Structure 1
Amino acid sequence: MSELAPYQPSTSPAAYDPATLAVLAAMEQAAEEHLDRIRPHNTKRGYENDWNLWAEFHSWLAERTGHPLALTDVTKGTLVGFVIWLDTVKIAAPASIDRRITGVTVTARSLGVQVSKDATVAARKALKPLKLDPDRIARGRGKAPAATLQQLQQMADAAPAGLAGLRDRALWLMAFGMAGRSSEVAALRTESIALVGKGLDVHVPSVKGLPARKVRVAYGKNPDTCPVRAWLVWRAAAGLTAGPAFRPISVHGQLGTDGLTASGCQEIISRGAERAGLAVRLTGHSMRSGFITTARQAGKREEKIRAQSGHAANSPVFWGYIQEADAWTDAASEDIGL
């Protein structure tokens, strides 16, 4: 019996001719356009938000590495880093992170980027243990905790020595004192913070289409938590005369020239709370809500508080803070003879 030989095709498979390739390419394009047309509007908007977060993550990464990457660099390393950043910096819920991975992947592929399966598999592998954590699952189900004066004191006591410590304390106290969003704190300019008799006149620039405003940040009674003193000490130590008010500092103590991003400001606040051993995790919004609550409890008028925070007169978020601050003011069950 003769030995069996492997099958040998008589001819090699023919390569696609140019006309066939053109038809296939046209079909691919038509398929993408059709899928885009039938995709719900909310999904498209969500993907746009996901890509904006991806861009914010790249800015954050560039601050730490000193080397910006292209947004089209969607790799195993960048996607896993994105998951970690969303978890530790943005304090996002696992379900939200899962959606962000999809949004970035779909958007990148629509731009012609070849996103490997290894990259998405690795990202979801990094996400898997987060989905088993009850505390992380509960994220996003409530408002950010409002910072209190006691917590600010604890953060001040735990602030590190050196230039970074001075910056961190000035940043979170300024955020509290001006009732500012993290994006507004990040956009502050040194020359727009003027020292006057009773404190600071602070020009809050327009951010994300919101109107600019001027706020007054008064001297505090406690030197440890006084935003005016903290700003003056930081400004002098950093030698600031113009440009971004708050800037990155390298591990070697080198002061950057660009301003911090909004996420960078949020990270500094969360890291300060963690360093102080607080039982709650404060975020950038905690300073804003904390000011409104504290000012109201101190008897400040609603219109004065709104002028500081920049809330609209009919803002349900603002009135929610006011109601929370007033919860124990003349409570219905108080002094009724019980």
Structure 2
Amino acid sequence: MNEHTDEVIANVLHADGKFGYVRNDSGGRGETGDAADHDVDARLLPAARAVAPRWTARPPSAPSTSNSSRTSTWRGRPRCTTRRPPPCSRAGPRRGAAPQGIRPKKTRDGYARVWALWSEFHGSLAERTGTALPLTAVTLVGFVVWLDEVKKAAPNSIDRRLTGVTVTARSMGAEVPKEATRAARTALKPLKLDPTRQARGRGQAVAITPDQIRRMNTADPAVPRKPGSRRHRRTYARTELAVLRDRALHTLAFGIAGRSQEVSALDDTGIRLVAEGLEVHVPSVKGRPARDVVVAYGENIESCPVRCWLAWKDAAGLDGGPAFRPVDQWNCLSDRRLSPDGCRQAQTRAAERAGLDARITGHSYRAGLITTGRKKGKRAEKLRAQSGHAENSPVFWKYVRDGEKWEDAATDGIGL
């Protein structure tokens, strides 16, 4: 934790009724002064002002009367909280909390990583203050500062991590005041307006084009050895099955505007060949409704989803089961399903082999179909039915606007 971050968190943690703070050069307690007299981050102080001065936690030296209770004062009146501050391994599940089986595994894993970050931050505060601080507006605002200054996280990532900490703490039985989350997000608002901080994230997915898919499908299958790899050969050739699978994966993901989870969940029996092309059943993933879409024959052999799918199906001998499966370096086909991460890796690595400048991700195929389709005059309703977006989805309409921005341009044909 650098000196500037220590100072900002110290200002938040040691806020008093005058909104002064305690600081000295050695990092210990010093004289109390007004925040305006010191070089502090003024963005964060108003966020904690409304809540932090009203809370006075029990001092570390005070004896504890119970393992599950703690006495404090709020606006000068006694207040008792019935739970110890998180992290707390003994806290049980909150009444009414969603069972773990309902929440998708990817979400649970993400919340676990967020909780590990919170535990790291919470532990560092405990070392400095000598006690485990409760989850209040003060500590949540400090968490925002820590993620911003130490972890260099993007504002949207910080927002998601605040949600993860809140949901996890409440599921463990801890009380998280609404004032605390409100103060933390108030502190986060100025960060979202900073272009430098916004640039830390990956940003919106780059929309892939049919031309880029053709370049990926026709790229050299030889893969150069990565620096530090234990492989003896300087290059190794990808197997024929892997090449055919990736071609079908790229084109079909684009054709159905599929998420990586949806592409992974496709079954051979859910893809039916008809005279016009393919009828594809896209299964339900992460609570989203299933949908049935059609994919027509393409104009180019290298990027035609129907031809690429039939070539892969014939070579792999698919007869039911997962549509896309792992292929090892000896050209052996697995009977398992290619995971969503496996689909994303196949797409990203294919873009690297093709020498594409843009960073292609799994979401690039959804953005690509909508943007390209709108440029070609496809109706928004048709594109939304293909991708499965909600009618009021801001992301979908952002893709539509990207495809329309050169349609009837304001400076086109006005005599310039």
TM-score, normalization by structure 2: 0.52
List alignment gaps of at least 5 residues for structure 1: 1-23, 42-47, 57-92, 112-134
**1:34 maps onto 2:84 in alignment:** yes
Find out whether 1:154 has 2:215 as its counterpart. yes
| Structure 1 residues 54 and 234, CA gap change in structure 2 (3 angstroms) | farther
Write the letter of the residue equivalent to 1:168: D
For the 8 Å contact 2:153–2:200, the answer to whether it is kept is no
Report the more deviating stretch, 284-293 or 255-264. 255-264
Q: What amino acid does structure 2 have at the position aligned with 1:34?
A: R
Kindly indicate which of the two structures has a greater share of residues assigned to strand: 2
Which of 225, 229, 232 aligns to 2:310? It is 232
What do residues 243-277 of structure 1 show as CA deviations (whole Å, max 9, x unaligned)? 00001112222211111111111111000000100
State whether structure 2 residue 403 is matched by structure 1 residue 309. Answer: no
Of 342, 360, 371, which aligns to 1:293?
371
User: 2 CA distance for matches of 1:251 and 1:174?
Assistant: 23
Aligned to 2:330, which of 246, 252, 259? 252
Of the candidates 387, 398, 413, which is equivalent to residue 320 of structure 1?
398
Alignment-derived partner of residue 52 in structure 1: 109
Corresponding position of 1:85: none
Give ranges in structure 2 of 5+ residues lacking alignment: 1-63, 71-81, 95-104, 114-150, 173-195, 222-238
- Amino acid in the other structure paired with 2:109: N
- C-alpha distance in 2, partners of 1:254/1:260? 14
After TM superposition, the structure 1 stretch with the greater mean CA deviation from structure 2, 302-311 or 30-39, is 30-39
Shift of 1:30: 7.6
Q: 1:95 aligns with which of 126, 149, 153?
A: 153
| Residues 1:165 and 2:226 aligned together | no
Given that 2:153 and 2:201 are in contact with CA atoms closer than 8 Å, whether structure 1 keeps it comes out as no
Which digits, 9 at most, give the CA deviation of each residue in 1:107-146, with x for residues without a partner?
8xx99xxxxxxxxxxxxxxxxxxxxxxx999452521100
User: Structure 2 matches for 1:1-338, cutoff 5 A?
Assistant: 27=67, 34-36=84-86, 51-53=108-110, 95=153, 138-158=199-219, 160=221, 162-338=240-416
More helix by share: 1
In 1, Cα distance between the equivalents of 2:219 and 2:86?
51
CA contact (8 A) 1:194 1:201 kept: yes
Determine if contact 1:244/1:259 at 8 Å carries over to the other structure.
yes
Q: Which amino acid aligns with 1:308?
A: Q
CA contact (8 A) 1:94 1:137 kept: no
When residues 216 and 247 of structure 1 are mapped into structure 2, their CA distance, relative to the original with a 3 A threshold, is: same
Matched-pair contact (CA < 8 Å) for 1:292–1:305 = yes
Higher relative contact order, structure no. (Cα contacts within 8 Å, ≥ 6 residues apart):
1
TM-score scaled by length of structure 1: 0.63
Aligned partner of 2:35 in structure 1 is none
Q: Pick closer, same or farther for the CA change 1:202–1:49 going to 2, 3 Å.
A: closer
CA contact (8 A) 2:370 2:383 kept: yes
Contact 1:289/1:321, CA 8 A, preserved across alignment: yes
Identity %: 53
Deviations 1:30-87 (A, max 9, x none): 8995123899x9xxxxxx977424999xxxxxxxxxxxxxxxxxxxxxxxxxxxxxxx
- Which is further off, 311-320 or 175-184? 311-320
Aligned to 1:70: none
| Range that drifts further, 140-149 or 30-39 | 30-39
Give the SS at the match of 1:215.
strand
Contact preservation (8 Å) 2:281, 2:292:
yes
What is the root-mean-square deviation in Å for CA atoms of aligned residues?
A: 3.5
* In 1, Cα distance between equivalents of 2:352 and 2:252: 19
